Amino acid sequence: MASFKPTKVQFLPKLGEKVTEETLYWKNYKSPVQIKEFGAITKIDFSPLPPHNYAVTASTRIHIYGPHSQEPIRSFTRFRDTAYGGRFRGDGKLLVAGSEEGLIRLFDISGRVALRQFKGHSKAVHMTSFLSDGFRVVSGSDDLSCRVWDVPSAVELSSLTEHTDYIRALAPSKLNPDLFVTGSYDHTVKVFDMRSGSSVMTMQHGHPVECVLLYPSEALLVSTGGRYVKVWDLLKGGQELVSLKNHHKTVTCACLSSVGNKLLTGSLDRHVKVYNSSYKVVHNFDCDASILSMAIAPDDEALAVGMTNGVLSVRHRRHQKDKEMLTSRRRRGPSYQVFVKGKNFVPRQDDFLVSKPVKQYLRKYDKQLKSFEVSKALDTALQTWTRTSKPDVTVVVIIELNRRGTLKNALAGRNEESLTKILNFLLKHIFDPRFSRPLLMVGDIVLDLYQQVFHQSPVVERLLQRLMEVLGREAELQQELLQVLGILDTLFTSLTPRKEALAAPPVAQESQLQAA
Amino acid sequence: MVERSDIRVVRCGGSKVNLRPPIISTDSRFVLCASGDLVKVYSTRTEEWLHSLQGHTNQVTGIALNPANHLQVYSCSADGTVKLWDFIDGILIKTFIIGYPLFAIYVSEKHEGVLFLHVSMATDSKNECFQLVAVHPPKSAEQEVEAKEMSVVSSHISSNPSCTAFGRGGEYIAFARRLQLNVYFFRKQKTCSFSLKATDKKGAKNAFTCIACHPTDDCIATGHEDGKIRLWRNFIHKKEYTYSTQHWHHNAVNTLCFTPEGTHLLSGGIESVLVQWQYGAGNRKEFLPRLGGSILHISASSDGQLFCTSHSDNKITVIESSFKVCGVIQGLVKGDAVLTDLMIDPRSIALVLNGKPGHLQFYSLLRDKHLYNLDIVQQEYIYEAGLDQFEVVKAAFDIKGSWLATVEERGQKSSDLEFFLKLWAFDERTQSFVLNTTITAAHTDRIISMCFSSSEETTMLVTTAEDGQFKAWCQGADADTQQDQNFWSCDFVGSYHNLKPTNCSFSADSSLLAVSFQEVITIWSPETWEMLTTLCQPPGVIRDLCFGRLSCSKYLLGTTTRNLLCCWNLLTCALEWSSSVEVSKLQPDPLSENVAAFSYQSKHTDLFVFKPSEPRPLFTNKNVCSEKVHRAVFVPREEPLNNCDESSQWLNRSQLYFLTQNMDLLTFSTATEEDRMLSSSKQLVIDDSVAVTPFYLLLGKHRQQQQKLNTQSHPAADKPQQPQGSVTIKELLHTPAHVLPAASVLCSMFVNSLLISNTGVQQDPLREEMDSEKEEEDSEEEMEACDSQQELRVQGSVDEVTLKLSKAQERELKRVRKTDFSWMAGLIDSKP
């Protein structure tokens, strides 16, 4: 005796985004932890040393957070005015930061008071950084100059004034201690060489540059500004490689993930976008406010995003361990324990296994179909939750009823309320190419059944009116599409005979050759 | 049907087992059913086919247990004879020649020695008139007796044999015909008839479909066309009869049956639900749903412990009285039509064709046994007349048997046509096919044909459809879904001047694909999807298409609807030869160059076997059968025959099976093959009457091993030994318990026989065998001596005892020495 075969819900391919490994990788972040700062967060920098603490520059202070703590483990508050651009040295022991009043301060991570102060800039210093030898600091300021400072003696080594607008972006080279890249509001990105004391390369970004970023190989340079993200090939003398326009507001920050060097950009439009190696967007993080700064931990363990409203949102990677913990916690619950009782018992070699018959659990509509309650099954399939979130289940039940030849019976004898449900469902899904065939059939049957009584209900009448309009529009659309197809067909047919004429003779020759 | 001396057309795959109700023997050990011209005996416990009662020359139309002897069974046949059998041993006891075609047989305990037969008294075939006659078979010692003494009980009965039943203790017989129920009382010799109106206002259809009588009560249950069951009472008085109506079936009630105690009434119909009504308790009923095909007959064993239902899908289900299915006897399922081709599963060499609705059945031709059903549609089948449901219409295996492609279809009208193309992968772990890909809209119109490429490396499927396109499907070529799993996707879409494609075929090495579009054949290269050439031979649309194999691989064969068989040479792209034959099926042999062509002309089918290289047929068989043949398949043999005869050489490597329009599976068998089968059947002495017990199986295994050993070590001693081995074991099993030695003795012996003996002991049985060979003739009478001998053995002090023997004892001992030990030898010999 065979058991009842439940209705099979056809797996229909999802339209839209394809699920790739990369999207899965980027989806694997937990929901963000929100930390409130005192003002807009302008800079986040991760320490290069584990445990990868990060410095958050906001308002007049710089906080250093541990990887999992929500409270700052250290804060630098000796700023008289807004602090900018707090960055770690390559060994993670020193921190440099600029400020609104033009002072650059150098801190020891364990100390509180500034070790050095570099005076010289006349306007706010938004960007500071150590050069890769660790003994020099470079800064970019609103006074259009870019200065290099000696750390031990705290003196200015050189001043570069090639930019004609505020300098708001700075990236030192990690391979060469004498090179750094600056980006400015004068729409240019310049590469400076300290040995020559001037810029060696200039690229036109076309918009005020907000952020520059060097790839680890330092052959590629990323600059963001306006709505554009541009990638430049430095080895080809600063040729533009790609120009990306995926944000709809100014792109304020960019960073690279350490696994596979994937580019992430954050923008004032509140999105963080992740690009794959061919610069296609593979993932998107949504934030609550416009993004000013963003950084990702060197091992991709955490993604920190700073926003204009002073909220720091940190996303941590989800690990396999966490998942297991979740499931094990669930297993500890008493109700579940009843079900798994003895399930993990491993039988010994000479044990005789008596298998218990597996009970077949049926969905509600299947139970009703099994007992031939067709109207009830349709009602179940048209329940609000199923109807809205799983329209394919509803359609599958409709198809099954039609196969059984009882669709008409199931649709008959309904009141205004349930008829409205059906008509609303039709309105929503009748153009879905996956569902249109069965739903058109339902529409036909409904019209046949209730023709006489439609005028009694204004609600139903209105719905039918809408259905008619929508169908008319769809029919017009189809007709236009067919016309386009016809045009294309004539184009193709005008092309094909030539091809055939070309293809045919060699074959004939070949066969003759074979025959010979 | 026999044309040639050495090649015969043989029917195979068994016949219908569901034509007449099966009967269960009194001891509930056997199920008997009429199947073709045989009566088949099955075991109820193991569902194995034990043996069959052969002798009738036409369809067996009824079987009934002899009420006088519960080990005998009557069978009647359309050849006009009634035969009495001992069904346990399969011996024909008597044959009664009636002279008219018989359609059913009824017996009753009260009327011992009287057979009630259903006889067709048709003068011409148009208005058939069935009669119920009583026959008194004359008592005589002869085997064949003519029984001419008949008395007509009624001359107007229904052609349906389930419309006749004996009433309480055989006092009356009830039979229904259309709208009339007649009851004939034997004592009063009077018939009462009751009739119903054809319809009423509610549209009831009152025609009788079946009838059953209560065994102890005066009650007749009748089934009707609209699914009603009526229980008639008080019909002895013609005027005061009453009936009550019960209604559950939504369609005609096919069969009714009372349990022997009369406590329950069983009914079945097209819904395939066995309904058990409690007698006298109104509407209380139990159901056993989803049994398979629609229920045609129900029968109950005499103790009421077992029920048997036979179904339209050629199946008998054995059901316990607790409503649990305990056994299924499944024959080759032959529906109304086989829509798929006949195919061979390359792994199991099983024949594959449509089985149950929505399934493919795998049928082992070697063992002549139904293996399993593969569920293709995976939907609940609704048993309802006139419902348009999914049916498997096309199927194809790839060359290694690791992929199966199926097409299921629903909707006769093209407007609401639904079909799915499914691809199944063979799973090594579960040893069955697992669904891999479902393609919902493979084409925009019905798929006409499909085939797999024949190369081992890459598998490719080509489908042609009525929308004028052919598509090539490949595994895992889809770049959009970047997943590891290998799904199938479309690789190429081809068409030719918007013509409708008719057939497609791959060449033997898969380097060429031929697709026929109406009158034109196009040749494509599957590597580059370039159309290489077109071949055209105007008269008629191309119907079949196949490439030659091996040495003939340069030829392409095609048949057209206008009686033309063409052969093209692919090197010259020219027609090599053509001949004017109406070919209904063209089937190439995968293992040789041969091609079989079935041609239907003037109401009979001829077979031609030829090589594509020459237009002269190798073998012709005129008048193979009288129906059209649309399906045929070559089945590779396990071991090739070595026929030297030219006309039968084509059957050496593979066997040709074909299916006629009447759903008969036929094949060709050669003389050498039959000889071989005959000799093997002689060698294999199977004791069918012994129920299969673990003990029996153990012995059987030992015997087989012994046989193997013998063939290896003593080829010369093989022949005399074998029958002996079986005889001795038979003796062990058949010797009455009271003459057998004590169980404890047997046990130690038996256990001893299982141990591995040293070589010294191994020589013993040989010596014993020599003895036994000499003294074979007197072994029977000395069986009784066995037990005393055993006792001596156990005591183990034979010598001491012999010192003080009396004369009588000495004589005894002599006899003991002559005792046949060969059966023991059989046991001991089988140790390795």
Q: How are beta strands B144-146 and B91-97 bridged, if at all? A: parallel
Residue B572: closest CA among chain A residues belongs to which residue? A515
Strand A239-244's sheet: what is its strand order? A209-214, A220-225, A228-233, A239-244
CA A346 to chain centre: 44
- Does position B723 have pLDDT exceeding 50, yes or no? no
Contact A1 B382 (CB under 8 A): no
B676 or B126, which is more confident: B676
- Does position A324 have pLDDT exceeding 70, yes or no? no
Peptide bond into B736 cis (omega under 30): no
Contact A18 B481 (CB under 8 A): yes
Find the range with the poorest average confidence among A493-502, B239-248, B547-556, B711-720: B711-720
Contact A42, A56 (CB under 8 A): no
Q: A511 to chain B: which residues are within 8 Å by CB?
A: 532-533, 570-573
Half-sphere exposure of A495 (CA within 13 A, CB side): 6
> What average pLDDT does range B654-659 have in this prediction?
87
Question: How far is it, in rounded angstroms, from Cα B227 to Cα B385?
Answer: 13
Contact A503 B291 (CB under 8 A): no
> What average pLDDT does range B488-506 have in this prediction?
88
Q: Residues of chain B with pLDDT > 70: what percent? A: 79
Q: How are beta strands B564-569 and B253-258 bridged, if at all? A: unpaired
CA distance B482 to chain A (A): 7
Predicted confidence at residue A485, as pLDDT, reads: 93
Tell me the average pLDDT of chain A.
85
Predicted confidence at residue A17, as pLDDT, reads: 60
- Does position B464 have pLDDT exceeding 90, yes or no? yes
Q: How many CB atoms lie within 10 A of CB A443?
A: 19
Rounded to two decimals, the ipTM of the complex is: 0.73
- Rounded to the nearest 10 degrees, the angle between the axes of helix A391-403 and helix A436-450 is 60
> What average pLDDT does range A438-443 have in this prediction?
91
Predicted confidence at residue A258, as pLDDT, reads: 83
A499 and chain B in contact, CB less than 8 A: no
Question: How far is it, in rounded angstroms, from Cα B63 to Cα A157?
Answer: 117
pTM above 0.95, yes or no: no
Contact B533 A514 (CB under 8 A): no
CA B589 to chain centre: 26
Q: Residues of chain B with pLDDT > 90: what percent? A: 7
Predicted confidence at residue B779, as pLDDT, reads: 45
Q: Closest by alpha carbon to A183, among A104, A271, A258, A252?
A: A252
Predicted confidence at residue B250, as pLDDT, reads: 86
B325 and chain A in contact, CB less than 8 A: yes
Q: Per-residue pLDDT tens for B451-461?
A: 998 887 778 89
Q: Per-residue pLDDT tens for B515-539?
A: 998 888 899 998 888 888 888 876 7
**Most confidently modeled of A70-79, A504-513, B233-242?**
A70-79
Q: Per-residue pLDDT tens for A337-360?
A: 666 677 777 878 888 878 777 788
Contact B422, B437 (CB under 8 A): yes
Task: Find tokens 């002279």 and name the residue.
Answer: B99
Q: pLDDT band for position A405 (50/70/90)?
A: confident
CA distance B754 to chain A (A): 23
> What average pLDDT does range A413-425 have in this prediction?
91
Contact B603, B626 (CB under 8 A): yes
Strand B391-397's sheet: what is its strand order? B391-397, B403-410, B418-427, B432-439
- Does position B785 have pLDDT exceeding 90, yes or no? no
What are the structure tokens assigned to B813, written together?
């001992």
Predicted confidence at residue A311, as pLDDT, reads: 92
Question: How far is it, in rounded angstroms, from Cα B53 to Cα B43?
Answer: 14
- Rounded to the nearest 10 degrees, the angle between the axes of helix B785-795 and helix B743-754 is 70
DSSP assignments along B654-688, one per residue: EEEEEEETT--EEEEEEHHHHHHHHHHHHH----T
> What average pLDDT does range B707-721 have in this prediction?
46
The partner residue sitting opposite A1, judged by closest CB among B288, B438, B531, is: B288
Contact B624, B9 (CB under 8 A): yes
Contact B571 A5 (CB under 8 A): no
Q: Per-residue pLDDT tens for A235-259?
A: 988 889 999 998 999 999 999 988 7
- Does position A60 have pLDDT exceeding 70, yes or no? yes
Strand B595-601's sheet: what is its strand order? B583-588, B595-601, B604-610, B617-625
The partner residue sitting opposite A18, judged by closest CB among B387, B390, B480, is: B480
> What average pLDDT does range B1-12 have in this prediction?
60
Q: B413 to chain A: which residues are within 8 Å by CB?
A: none
- Does position A477 have pLDDT exceeding 60, yes or no? yes
CA distance B293 to chain A (A): 11
What are the structure tokens assigned to A112, written together?
């509180």
Q: How are beta strands B190-195 and B180-185 bridged, if at all? A: antiparallel
What are the structure tokens assigned to A160, written together?
């570069």
Predicted confidence at residue B789, as pLDDT, reads: 46
Contact A2 B481 (CB under 8 A): no
Predicted confidence at residue A102, as pLDDT, reads: 87
B646 or A296, which is more confident: A296
> What average pLDDT does range A414-424 have in this prediction?
91
Predicted confidence at residue B552, as pLDDT, reads: 84
Peptide bond into A51 cis (omega under 30): yes
Predicted confidence at residue A252, as pLDDT, reads: 93
CA distance A262 to chain B (A): 19
Which numeric CATH code is attached to B18-157?
2.130.10.10
Question: How far is it, in rounded angstroms, from Cα B350 to Cα B370?
Answer: 9
Write the single-letter amino acid at B137.
Answer: P
Question: How far is it, in rounded angstroms, from Cα B186 to Cα B173?
Answer: 8
Q: pLDDT band for position B554 (50/70/90)?
A: confident
Instruction: Tell me which of A363, A403, A440 to substitute to probe the interface with B (most B C-beta atoms closer than 10 Å).
Output: A403
Sign of the Cα pseudo-torsion (B247, B251, B254, B259, in order): negative
For the domain made up of B159-330, give the CATH fold: Methylamine Dehydrogenase; Chain H (2.130.10)
Predicted confidence at residue A473, as pLDDT, reads: 93
B485 and chain A in contact, CB less than 8 A: no
Q: pLDDT band for position B401 (50/70/90)?
A: confident
Window 265-324 of B: residues touching A by CB (8 A cutoff) are: 288-292
Predicted confidence at residue B674, as pLDDT, reads: 67
| Beta partners for residue B812, in sequence order | none
B534 and chain A in contact, CB less than 8 A: no
* Residue A189 CB contacts under 8 Å (≥ 6 apart), including other chains: A169, A181, A182, A183, A202, A203, A205, A209, A212, A221, A223, A232
Number of separate helices (H) and strands (E) present in chain B: 9, 57
> What average pLDDT does range B498-507 have in this prediction?
89
> What average pLDDT does range B90-105 have in this prediction?
85
Contact A18 B388 (CB under 8 A): no
Sign of the Cα pseudo-torsion (B794, B796, B801, B807, in order): positive
Q: pLDDT band for position B725 (50/70/90)?
A: very low
Predicted confidence at residue B801, as pLDDT, reads: 44
Q: Could you give the C-alpha distances from A99 to A82, A156, B473, B560, B671, in angstroms and in order?
A: 6, 17, 66, 92, 107
Contact A515 B481 (CB under 8 A): no
Q: pLDDT band for position A137 (50/70/90)?
A: very high
Contact A4 B380 (CB under 8 A): yes
Contact B573 A514 (CB under 8 A): no
DSSP B561: T
> What SS3 class is residue B195?
strand
Q: pLDDT band for position A15 (50/70/90)?
A: low
Find the range with the poorest average confidence among A99-108, A410-419, A429-438, B759-768: B759-768
Question: How far is it, in rounded angstroms, from Cα B288 to Cα A152?
Answer: 94
Task: Find tokens 């483990």 and name the residue.
Answer: A73
Instruction: Tell me which of A3, A5, A399, A444 to substitute to probe the interface with B (most B C-beta atoms closer than 10 Å).
Output: A5
Task: Find tokens 């049928």 and name the residue.
Answer: B363
Q: Per-residue pLDDT tens for B737-760?
A: 677 777 777 777 777 766 766 654
Strand B574-579's sheet: what is its strand order? B542-547, B555-560, B564-569, B574-579
**According to the 3-state scheme, what is the secondary structure of A20-36?**
CHHHHHHHCECCCEEEE
Predicted confidence at residue B687, as pLDDT, reads: 47
- Does position B784 have pLDDT exceeding 50, yes or no? no
> What average pLDDT does range B233-248 have in this prediction?
83
Instruction: Tell me which of B380, B389, B497, B573 to substitute to probe the interface with A (most A C-beta atoms closer than 10 Å).
Output: B380
Predicted confidence at residue A255, as pLDDT, reads: 92
Q: pLDDT band for position A222 (50/70/90)?
A: very high
- Does position B768 have pLDDT exceeding 90, yes or no? no
Task: Find tokens 């009369």 and name the residue.
Answer: B262
Question: How far is it, in rounded angstroms, from Cα B109 to Cα B100?
Answer: 25
Segment holding A497, helix H or strand E: helix A458-515
CA distance A507 to chain B (A): 6
Write the single-letter amino acid at B98.
Answer: I
Sign of the Cα pseudo-torsion (B465, B469, B475, B479, in order): negative
- Does position B102 have pLDDT exceeding 90, yes or no? no
B620 or A191, which is more confident: A191
Residue A1: closest CA among chain B residues belongs to which residue? B291
Task: Find tokens 């068998």 and name the residue.
Answer: B669
